[in-house]
Each structure stands twice: as C-alpha cells, then as structure tokens.
Chains A and B, each alone.
Chain A
Amino acid sequence: EPEVTQTPSHQVTQMGQEVILRCVPISNHLYFYWYRQILGQKVEFLVSFYNNEISEKSEIFDDQFSVERPDGSNFTLKIRSTKLEDSAMYFCASSDPSPSSRSKRGASDTQYFGPGTRLTVL
C-alpha cells in the first residue's frame, strides 16, 4: 500500500539554525499538509498546499516557516531560524480529493499521514 514517507526521523539542531524537513507524499495525491505536535499536546495544523501554492495556513505558520515542492515528488517544510519552542513532532500528510469531496465548508478527503520527524532544538 502506498504511504507517505518523511526524512529524517529525528533532527537535532541548535537554536537559530535553519532546518528543512522532507516528505514524499503518495504519488497521485494533490493536496499536501504539514502539522506539528508538541510532546503531550494535540496535533496542530500548519499549512496546506495545492497546485504549487499555499491554500490555507494557521496562525502558527509565520514568516519563519516556508513550504516548497521542489520537484515532482518531494514536499519540504523549512524553518528559517529555529527556536526552542519549535521542538515537536512534525507530520506531513497528503490527500487525493475526489470532485465531490470539496465544498465551501471543508473537505471530506482522507488524509494520509507520514511517520513524522522529531525536531529537537537545543
């Protein structure tokens, strides 16, 4: 069964450094997402991406964050200058919406999550 993959599984960085988290979504999927989960807390939406541009982003996704689909397979999340509070598990997800799954009030397509990258900022 196709799956979303993420690399690295664990990233340790110093505060102020830039990190790039990588994801390979399921190949025929069209929507891509990043989430984060601080230890012991809930899964938080960061951003969704469709047709090579951001379609939605949360208040968390400030100028420190950027996303890119540099080629036909990878989807990346860059954090420009990491802070201690960026330490979290970062999940990538992808979905393949059918024509009827999108409406003005949200989407019913299933999101498939990757295994996550644990980011530790020291």
Chain B
Amino acid sequence: SQKIEQNSEALNIQEGKTATLTCNYTNYSPAYLQWYRQDPGRGPVFLLLIRENEKEKRKERLKVTFDTTLKQSLFHITASQPADSATYLCAPQETYKYIFGTGTRLKVLA
C-alpha cells in the first residue's frame, strides 16, 4: 500500500543553522510533490511544489529536492529563525486524492 514517511520525532536546531527535513514514499510514482507548513490549530499553508522532472527548487531560504529513484524529497530551510518553528508536511501527488504525510515538527531555538 502507498506510504509516506516523515521524521515522526521533532527536529530541534539552533537559530541560523540549516534545517533538513525528509520525506520518503513507497508504492508511489508522484508527478508532483508539495510541501506545506502547518502551525498549531491552523490550516496548512503551501510552500513549494516540485515536479518529477525537476531535481531542485528554491524559494528564498527554502530549497526542495526530489529524487524519484530514491523515492525521497528533502526540504531545507537555511538561516533558520524561531519563526520557522512549525510542522512541515509533504504531499506527493499521484492522483487527485491529496495525501499528506504525518509531518515533521521543527523547533528553531533562539
């Protein structure tokens, strides 16, 4: 069955460092993979989308990579700030049923 795995444990990093979050998927051949941010009690907010024919996508301090051979996407936040503390969700898309991973909780320590 299709499965999306994100680090279930929280990731704590020091302010100014680069945070790297992992999304692995199995039994999927997604054409697109999206990353969202979710704050407690709020709806997800779209951050970045990467297509299967793209290796890397950047937006300001964010970078996403997509390795369809490894079935993995990495999400990087450079020069992290306490305001980046949130849960980050990945959503590989193969159909029009949008499936989200469980998310990784990131805490950036001042």
Contact = CB atoms under 8 A, between A and B. Distances in A.
Sorting the interface of chain B by its residue count into under 10, 10 to 19, 20 to 34 or 35 or more gives 20 to 34
A91 B96 contact: no
Interface stretch (A14-22, A62-70, A71-79, A101-109): A101-109
B49 A110 contact: yes
B91 to A, nearest CB: 9
A56 B44 contact: no
B93 A106 contact: yes
Given A42-B100, A91-B43, A93-B43, A56 B95 contact: yes
Contacts of A45: 97-100
A105 B44 contact: no
A44 B96 CA distance: 13
A44 B49 CA distance: 19
Interface of B: 29-32, 38, 41-46, 49, 51, 89, 93-103
